[in-house]
Amino acid sequence: MPDFASLNRYFRLRIPAARRGALPLAMRCLPVALLAAREVAPDPCDVVLLQPHASAGTRHGRLAESLARRGLAVRHEYVPRYAELLRRRLLSRPGAGWAGVPREWRAHAAYAAWLVARHRPRVIVTFMDDSLHSPFLREAAAAAGGAVVNVAHCMSGANLDFSMCDFDWYLLWGRRSYENLASAPVRFGSCRTLAIGSIYQEGAPASGREPPAGRPARLLWIGQDLASEHGGLLRRDAAAFARFLAAHPEHEAVIRPHPRDRGELARVMGGILPRARWTDAGSLLAADLCDVDIAASSFSSGLVDAAAAGLPVVAFSSCPLVESIGLREAGLPVVADEAGLAAAVAALLADYAQASRAALRLAREHLQEPGPATERCAEVVEALARGRDPAALGFPEGALREALP
């Protein structure tokens, strides 16, 4: 069983009282033991790809294909919201019973038990996981002889979204990811880490980009989750970007919503930029980088993937996490408003070759190895599925241990 005293402390640190609301009380009142399914219809596989939300599944299609080529059966699931968890009764009795699980954690334990009973996987892969299900997934998987792997970029050590470290293996983009996690003052659980690069890239490593010739410069906005705690700041930045492009019709606008966007970005930018081109948020970002010249955002891992393609990037400074990306150190601009953005875009286009080299410097700060890491990720998962230690693959390794003040 997880250390519930530590888990409760982590919960209080991870989710401040102002955001917790009545969740703990509501979870204690749920009759989870009565709602749990008596039998779970089996759908066995080797690997479960547990998406953070339903819209994320297409982003990991290449990983699923690589695992299938290696002879592994793959199933896709996504972490359900609590209401759906109960409505669909994705709950099963934990292997050690209910007695040792506090009532407020029974839904998490029951979901993990259901997932393992349903698929009997050798490996569960989660992505950018800040889920409180993680300790229970690890326990249920271990009892069945399996392992849990998390894949994340971890660009910011101060970001508690990445402070859940209760996995068997944490697959990171590179050295900077590990340093951010290792220096974070709050972590729950322990894990081994491997630096493999970004599974969201495509193609060979870039060696630089050419400036736009014979056409207007195209600027890509990489949208973020406007429903997050920084939503107000993110809306302000998106509107500033839109107003800049509306005032500079010599440039073209390309807008990519966040995968969880439900029309929020269109409500912010659509009226200002009615002729902008909108891209499919369900596809990999790499598909949008081929014919644009500059990428902009507030705080997004997409900025690093864009930089890895040799694309000059610019970020707004209002999101408190943006400094952790390291744009300034690489020689790329961080701006506060339309005027700053106008100056930054002009400077990037004036010396595009230098800006492209700066982008590649930024990418090398974050990525263990340029280029797509899908096959490296699949190698790790396959090794675990076949009972081998992935440390033998030779990727840079580290270890993270719990840190609760």
pLDDT of residue 260: 81
pLDDT of residue 317: 87
Residues 6+ apart with CB under 8 A from 79: 50, 51, 52, 53, 126, 131, 133
For residues 308 and 300, give the distance between their C-alpha atoms in angstroms, rounded to a whole number. 14
21: phi > 0 → left, psi -120 to 50 → alpha, else beta; which?
Answer: left
- Nearest CA to 336 out of 236, 247, 256 is that of 236
pTM, whole model, 2 decimals?
A: 0.88
For residues 236 and 36, give the distance between their C-alpha atoms in angstroms, rounded to a whole number. 44
Residues 6+ apart with CB under 8 A from 169: 147, 148, 149, 150, 191, 192, 193, 194, 380, 384, 390
What strand order describes the sheet that includes 277-278? 277-278, 252-256, 218-222, 294-297, 313-316, 334-335
Residues 6+ apart with CB under 8 A from 297: 221, 222, 223, 224, 237, 303, 313, 315, 316
Three-state helix/strand/coil letters over 231-269: HHHHHHHHHHHHHHHHHCCCCEEEEECCCCCCCHHHHHH
For residues 151 and 169, give the distance between their C-alpha atoms in angstroms, rounded to a whole number. 9
pLDDT of residue 204: 65
Domains of the chain: 4-199+373-400 (3.40.50), 218-366 (3.40.50.2000)
Element (H, E) at 51: strand 47-51
DSSP secondary structure letters along 70-118: TT--EEEEEPPPHHHHHHTT-----TT-STTS-GGGHHHHHHHHHHHHH
Residue pLDDT tens, the chain, 405 long: 889 999 999 998 887 765 667 677 778 888 999 999 989 999 999 999 999 876 666 788 899 999 999 999 999 999 988 889 889 999 999 999 999 999 999 999 999 999 999 999 999 999 987 789 999 999 999 999 999 999 998 877 666 778 999 999 999 999 989 998 998 889 999 999 999 999 988 776 677 788 888 899 999 999 988 877 778 888 999 999 999 999 999 999 999 998 888 899 999 999 999 999 999 887 778 889 989 999 999 888 889 989 999 999 999 988 777 877 889 999 999 999 999 999 999 999 999 999 999 999 999 989 988 778 999 999 999 999 999 999 999 999 999 999 998
* Maximum separation of any 2 CA atoms in the chain, in Å: 71
